[in-house]
Amino acid sequence: MQDDSTLRLLEAALLHVPFDGWSEASFQAAIAESGVGPVLARALLPRGAVDLAMAYHRQGDAQMGERMAASDMDGMKYRDKVALAVRTRIQAAENREVVRRGTTLFALPPYAADGARLIWGTADAVWTALGDTSDDFNWYSKRVTLSGVYSATVLFWLGDDSPDASATWDFLDRRIDDVMRIEKVKASVRANPLLSRILAGPERVLARVRAPQARRDVPGGY
């Protein structure tokens, strides 16, 4: 949950980001128009527009979680629930140019690690919204896989001019189908007596990997 001052700064900044990017100019304009004092703004967001961009991304994660909680998913296949969550998260962004400016910012070497953490946080937020209870290596593998699906779909969406972004949702469905095929292959390998014995050792090691307790207790957040 973000404090009121950060939300006011973010609301004001979004009027400028499509033109000036997540820049110091946008940050200063947000301070001037939000009524938040410069000292408080810098205390809340020490890196200025970079931290504001991260707040924007996490706001989208939170909105996705709220919308998914209010969605009726009874009777839906699990892969359709995943697709719905990813689609809901992308739609929460609303302004494509703001997202485009964010992807440009987090592609820069100084902020690439921040961008990776945000994508991971989004994958975590999606699985949390879907009620994921895994606490072993699957906790990591699910988030790694979904991070790739989400990132690829966002990039496709940024260049999509189809009506209602229909081409993006078709692309998303194909990516999820690819993942489901991989899961089926993994299941068939486990069902094979010979291969399952070969993999027994590595799986025992990976099974000892546990999800960080802090991440299990607190849902995450471009």
CA distance 144 to 163: 30
CA distance 15 to 3: 20
* Global confidence as pTM: 0.83
51 in a structural domain? no
CA distance 221 to 117: 9
* Per-residue pLDDT band at 204 (split at 50, 70, 90): low
Residue 90 has pLDDT above 80, yes or no: yes
Confidence at residue 178, expressed as pLDDT on a 0 to 100 scale: 82
Mean pLDDT of the chain: 86
CATH number of the structural domain spanning residue 66: 1.10.357
35 and 74, same domain (yes or no)? no
31 and 119, same domain (yes or no)? no
Residue 167's domain comprises 57-217
Residue 219 has pLDDT above 50, yes or no: no
Confidence at residue 139, expressed as pLDDT on a 0 to 100 scale: 84
222 in a structural domain? no
Q: What are phi and psi of 82, to 5 degrees?
A: -65, -45
| Residue 217, Ramachandran bin (φ over 0: left; ψ between -120 and 50: alpha; else beta) | alpha
Confidence at residue 94, expressed as pLDDT on a 0 to 100 scale: 81
Structure confidence by residue, pLDDT tens digits, 45-79: 999 999 999 999 999 999 999 999 999 998 999 89
38 and 80, same domain (yes or no)? no
Confidence at residue 93, expressed as pLDDT on a 0 to 100 scale: 87
Helical H runs in 70-136?
78-93, 96-106, 112-129
Tokens linked to 124: 């975590």
61 and 22, same domain (yes or no)? no
